[in-house]
Structure 1
Amino acid sequence: MITYVSEQIYVFLTTLYGGIIIGFIYDLYRILRCIFKPKKIATIIEDLIFWIVIAIIAVHVLLFSNDGQLRFYVFLGFLIGAILYNRILSRFVIRGILILLNKLKSLLMKLLRIILFPIKIIKKFFVMLFCPLKKKFSPLYLRMKRLFLMVKIWYRDMVKYTKFMRNKK
């Protein structure tokens, strides 16, 4: 099969682009692993999913560009694309994604504060309502607590002594 140089250049540039996409997905994977800090089994599952996604992308790029033919320049294109992405774009993409995630986090926190505001108001109302009652009944509560503690100690001692008496016979 005769392949022209222009077709080979097209395939090389397409695989270069595929390498850049693979590098981007690897950065996303690194960010997710840094955020969630998975355990050993979750890491194995995540690695498997990562490699399946990378394989799907590589196969798609190969089928799209040259009907799945494997040549040396195809592997070279993927490798050079991933290295170029890692050296040139990776820092900016990671910073951008982290800025985006921080903005999203602050937006969600503001939304959560807005949602929880009525609950805080209701809580303050009940605290103001029951605070005088708490002061009034606090001494009674402490006395009852001591009384129940004494009953508990008395019961525990009785169980201990009955066991002791049974073992003596």
Structure 2
Amino acid sequence: MIISIAKQLQCFIFSITAGIITGVLFDIYKVIRGYGKINKFVSFFEDLLFWILAAIIVFIFLIITDYIYIGFYVYMLIVIGIYIYIKLFSKWFVRIWTNILKAITKGFRIFKNVIVYPFALLAYNIKIKIKKNYKK
């Protein structure tokens, strides 16, 4: 099958883009998963699920862009896209996502302390008063 130069260029660009998307997804996965010690079996299972999901997303991306032609060079370009992303953007992206997750968790802590804690304190005080009245 002969493909025009314009189509080959578009396929090239979309394959690199698919690699960059995979790199972004991998960084999001790393940030959400964290860097703590995890059971090896759980880690293997999570990694396997991630790569299956990433493969499905790349496949869907290539279907949507009408370049589902899967040759060896497409895989090479996806790997090159991942490499470009990791070398150029990964550090900043991980920092940004880490800060976003820290802000979200801080927001939840503030919500808990400002909204939930007074109600918990009120419930605790009511519980103590009920126990005192019950003992009398």
| TM bracket (short chain) | 0.7 to 0.9
Distance 1:5 1:92 in 2: 35
User: Who is 1:46 aligned against?
Assistant: 46
CA offsets 1:26-63 (integer angstroms, 9 cap, x no match): 11121233256431221122112111112112322333
Distance 1:67 1:80 in 2: 17
User: Who is 2:14 aligned against?
Assistant: 14
Q: Does 1:117 align with 2:118?
A: yes
User: Structure 2 length as normaliser, TM-score?
Assistant: 0.80
Larger Rg: 1
Answer 1 or 2: higher relative contact order, Cα 8 Å, separation at least 6: 2
Which residue identity lines up with residue 22 of structure 2 in the other structure? I
> Any gaps of 5 or more consecutive residues in structure 2?
none
Structure with the bigger percentage of helix:
1
Once the two structures are overlaid, the 10-residue window that deviates more, 42-51 or 71-80, is: 71-80
Task: Pick closer, same or farther for the CA change 1:87–1:76 going to 2, 3 Å.
Answer: same
Once the two structures are overlaid, the 10-residue window that deviates more, 52-61 or 64-73, is: 64-73
- Percent identity for Structure 1 against Structure 2: 26
Distance 2:94 2:101 in 1: 10
Alignment check: 8 A CA contact 1:15 1:61 kept = no
Alignment check: 8 A CA contact 1:27 1:90 kept = yes
Which residue identity lines up with residue 7 of structure 2 in the other structure? E
Number of residue pairs aligned between Structure 1 and Structure 2: 130
Cα RMSD, aligned residues only: 2.5
User: Structure 1 length as normaliser, TM-score?
Assistant: 0.66
